[in-house]
A and B are shown apart, each in its own frame.
Chain A
Amino acid sequence: MSSDQQGWVLSRHGYQYFKFGKHAILLQWPDEVGSDLLHRIINVKRHIQKEEIPGIIEVSTGYKSLTIFYKPDIIQASQVLDFMESTDFHQYDISKISDPVIIDVVYNDAHALDLAFVAEHLDLSVQEVINIHTAPVYDLYFIGFLPGFMYLSGLDKRLFIPRKEVPRIRVPQGSVAIAGGQTGIYPFESPGGWHIIGQTNIELFNPFKDPPCPYPPGTKIKFRRIHP
């Protein structure tokens, strides 16, 4: 542990860990954000979940991090860390190429409030924006910001655009949007600052289902243009 990184400790597994308050341990990898790291993080998450350790409530992930939430009256941080250090995180068979989930999107004026603006701003035609957006297979990194909001990787650099200067008060449910080098779908109506380029009717969050979201982190996703 170096003195200029107070509290962070290097694990033999290559990540650093940090006691985040009294209920959580944060793991953070130095690796670049990408598919490889995503699968390593999901692998660690599955190992922890599979053990069903009493006192560990849940595990959530970020771009290059994983957080273990525990109940300190049932398990101590040191016991969680002992488990982590003594576990062999051998690879699960999750790296195999799985077929992407196809999400149908309507990219037309009525549902794509900012599509024309985006095209003009990026010096592309509307058709080019659509082609570029539907070309890649995106990785679902994690869900956050709103219940069911998927953080996706792999937006083409040609579609990098800053957030709107004034966020919309109401972004409709199912809006497909881009901003800040990312693309995403609003799972329900909410305020939002991303540019809306399309619309999907896929259900991304249903609190009356358990689990409430259809796709777990690690899912591969592709957008397909449909005509209404």
Chain B
Amino acid sequence: MIEVIRKGGEIRIVDMGRYGYREYGVPISGAMDLRSAARANSLLHNPVSFAVLELTSPGHELNFMHDTTIGITGAEGNIRVNSNKIYTDNVYQISGHSRLTIGTLSKGYRLYIAVQGGIKSSTILGSQSPIPGLLNRSLRKGDRVELSRSDLYPSISSSITALHIETKRKLGCYPGPEWFHLDRHNQSALLDNAYYIDNKSNRMGYRLNGIPIISDIVEIFSSSVMPGTVQLLPNGLPLILMRDCQTTGGYPRILQVCEEDINQLAQRRVGNQVQFSLLIE
């Protein structure tokens, strides 16, 4: 078992998400940085679908109660097992009664810890990730995470490479369904502007600050949205939907961030810069 001794930001049990229930309004959820979550499992030759721990922002302390092996990915910083510094994108054997602490982060915002054999928790509608607003299981101080000690899972070859976190990289986007509702001037303004992540951002969406677009584009009949959809809010600023986003929305969908760069964005924090670039096919 792993016990939460101290919490900085959130600690969650997450996996690759919940598919097949969008028609019932159920968000996909899953890890914010899917690539790093999958990488953590693949370092241990776990199936990538195994649940992992997602630790957001610094200030966490976990007590590993038994011997186990972990794969750690995502953010980099002052991470220690007892007093020994450990490094992101590596595998470590942890002996029972060890403390893992996460101090300041030098790069990125979310860490992923996979455990050999996986994490035991209830599977609801095909996923171990929380359902936003309903089963909102962010772990609390004193919570214990049960580990699955099974060695029965076949080893799979690790083919997922680590996410190279680039905090300033422009987010690659495809045009969204309502991109053409913007005139050329506004389209280029949106691609030229630099935006900054607002403090009201969360797992459902990242709000941005910056120069608003002045346009007369209007709401649409509610239609599908998904992680990475960039909506233009009535205040003229973009909102980037993230993993816990609702399934339908009425704001114009101007861009769609490519899957890879949703992971990049998940590693940015309040105040970090966001710029969009159009991917040409």
- CB pair A60–B22 under 8 Å, yes or no, is yes
Contact A22 B174, CB 8 Å, known A142-B23, A205-B24: yes
Q: Which of B221-253 contact A (CB under 8 A)?
A: 221-224, 226, 228, 246-248, 253
Interface membership of A162, Cβ < 8 A: no
Distance in angstroms from B250 CB to nearest chain A CB is 9
Residue of B nearest to A68 (CB): B224
Q: Is the CB of A69 within 8 A of B22?
A: yes
Please, what's the 1-or-0 string for A131-155, where 1 marks a CB less than 8 Å from any CB in chain B? 0000000000011111111010000
Contacts of B154 in A (CB 8 A): none
Interfacial chain A residues near B25, Cβ < 8 Å: 143-149, 205, 213
Inter-chain CA distance A19–B175, complex, in Å, is 9
Chain A residue numbers with a CB within 8 Å of B22 are 58, 60, 69
| Contact among B221, B223, B246 for A67, CB-based, below 8 A | B223
A21-B256, A143-B23, A207-B131 known; A212-B125 Cβ under 8 A: yes
Do A24 and B226 contact each other (CB < 8 Å), given the known contacts A62-B248, A144-B246, A144-B247? Answer: yes
Known: A143-B24, A144-B247. A63 touches B221 (CB 8 A): yes
Which residues of B lie under 8 Å from residue A223 when comparing CB positions?
none
Say yes or no: A26 contacts B177, CB within 8 Å.
Answer: yes
Interface residues in A106-153 by Cβ distance below 8 A to B read 142-149, 151
CA distance A147 to B122 in the complex (A): 19
Say if the beta carbon of A52 comes within 8 Å of chain B.
no
**Could you tell me how many residues of chain B have their Cβ less than 8 Å away from some Cβ of chain A?**
34
B147 at the interface (CB under 8 A from A): no
Complex contact B221–A62 (CB within 8 A): yes
A190: B residues at CB distance < 8 A: 133
Flag if A188 contacts B174 (CB, 8 Å): no
Shortest CB-to-CB span from B204 to chain A, Å, is: 12
Question: Is there contact, CB below 8 Å, between A21 and B228?
Answer: yes
B248 touches A7 (CB 8 A): no
Whole-angstrom distance between the alpha carbons of A147 and B244 in the complex?
Answer: 12
Whole-angstrom distance between the Cβ of A8 and the nearest chain B Cβ: 7
What band does the interface of chain A fall in when counting residues whose beta carbon is under 8 Å from B?
Answer: 35 or more
Cβ–Cβ contact B20 & A58, under 8 A: yes
Within the complex, what minimum Cβ distance (angstroms) separates A112 from chain B? 23
Closest B-chain residue to A29, C-beta based?
B221
Complex contact B26–A147 (CB within 8 A) = yes
Asked if B21 is at the interface (CB within 8 A of a chain A CB), the reply is yes
- With A57-B19, A212-B26 in contact, do A6 and B222 touch (Cβ < 8 Å)? no
Which listed residue, A4, A7, A142, touches B175 by the CB 8 Å rule? A7
Q: Considering the chains assembled together, what is the distance between the CA atoms of A147 and B18 in angstroms?
A: 12
Least distance between B101 CB and chain A CB atoms (Å): 34
Q: Which of A140-175 contact B (CB under 8 A)?
A: 142-149, 151
Complex interface: chain B residues within 8 A of A24 (CB): 224, 226
CA distance A226 to B226 in the complex (A): 39
**Which A residues fall within an 8 A CB radius of B?**
4-8, 18-24, 26, 28, 33, 57-65, 67, 69, 142-149, 151, 188, 190, 205, 207-208, 210-213, 216-217
- Shortest beta-carbon contacts, A-B, top 7: A144-B248, A62-B223, A67-B224, A63-B221, A21-B256, A65-B223, A143-B25
Q: List 14 A-B contacts (CB under 8 A).
A: A8-B180, A23-B226, A26-B177, A33-B221, A60-B224, A62-B223, A63-B221, A64-B221, A65-B224, A145-B222, A149-B25, A211-B24, A212-B21, A213-B25
